[in-house]
């Protein structure tokens, strides 16, 4: 009589896969501008994500730059500037000598009592636009647990990296509400919202926590 001894290799594999998938289900992956970012960046992200109405705290008006040279300065930096009121709008201007020797007006700032910034969602809208890609990343991570033997933590990290990439690509896609003509006047070569300096996009990150 011949005895055949069969070693059970499937049980250990099955138990590991089940345990890691259960761990993955208990993890929460957060993608966006997280609490570790500085306060100014968090405020900027909030304003763009949900929109806001901004009013001056100490001055009578907000000064909206109308030229690239005025963007990184303050109205107080111009000793020769004066207020021009055309009956509809108020501007901070200064006289500027033209090349032909004549005098021109240089419009530095538009003076307004408040500014309403429209919603330019990039996190929620990026998620909505990239749902299929996020789902694919989750499916890929689950398969990697089953077939490649990675842990739930590594799978969650890979999903987080994929989520960051999806949001950043959406920000650069041109799908966000375009800039206003006033904003373009002060930064004519930066036509896409949210990525003028790249600071906001570079701050997109993720974290993995237990749910």
Calpha distance 160→31 (Å, rounded): 7
Q: What is the pLDDT along the chain (211 residues), one digit of tens a residue?
A: 666 555 667 888 899 999 999 999 999 999 999 987 788 889 989 988 999 998 998 888 999 998 888 888 899 999 999 999 988 899 999 988 776 666 788 899 999 999 888 888 999 999 999 999 999 999 999 999 999 999 999 999 999 999 999 999 998 887 765 555 545 444 555 545 455 567 888 899 999 999 7
Backbone phi, then psi, for 117, in 5-degree steps? -95, 120
What whole-number distance in Å separates Cα of residue 124 and Cα of residue 189?
27
* pTM flag (> 0.85): no
Alpha-carbon gap, residue 207 to 79, rounded angstroms: 48
191 vs 187: CA distance, rounded Å: 8
Adjacent-strand bridge partners of 117 = 52
**Which tokens in the block code for residue 16?**
């590991």
Helix (H, G, I), strand (E, B) or coil at 16: helix
Three-state DSSP state, 80: coil
Considering only the C-alpha atoms of the chain, give the largest distance between any 2 of them, rounded to a whole number of Å.
Answer: 114
Nearest alpha-carbon partner for 13 in 5, 25, 21, 4: 21
């Amino acid at each position: 009589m011949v005895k055949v001894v069969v070693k059970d290799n499937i049980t250990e594999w099955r138990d590991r896969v089940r345990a890691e998938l259960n761990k993955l289900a208990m993890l929460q992956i957060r993608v966006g501008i997280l609490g570790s970012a500085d306060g100014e960046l968090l405020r900027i992200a909030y304003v763009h994500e949900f929109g806001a109405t901004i009013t001056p705290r100490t001055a009578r008006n907000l000064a909206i730059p109308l030229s690239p040279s005025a963007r990184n300065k303050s109205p107080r930096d111009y000793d020769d500037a004066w207020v021009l009121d055309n009956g509809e709008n108020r501007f901070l201007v200064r006289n500027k000598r033209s090349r032909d020797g004549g005098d021109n007006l240089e419009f530095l700032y538009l003076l307004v009592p408040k500014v309403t910034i429209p919603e330019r969602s990039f996190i929620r809208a990026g998620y909505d636009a990239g749902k299929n890609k996020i789902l694919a990343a989750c499916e890929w991570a689950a398969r990697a647990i089953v077939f490649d033997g990675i842990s739930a933590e590594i799978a969650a990290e890979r999903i987080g990296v994929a989520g960051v990439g999806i949001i950043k690509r959406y920000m650069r896609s041109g799908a966000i509400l375009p800039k206003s003509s006033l904003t373009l006047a002060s930064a004519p070569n930066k036509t896409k919202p949210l990525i003028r300096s790249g600071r906001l996009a570079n701050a997109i990150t993720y974290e993995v926590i237990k749910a």
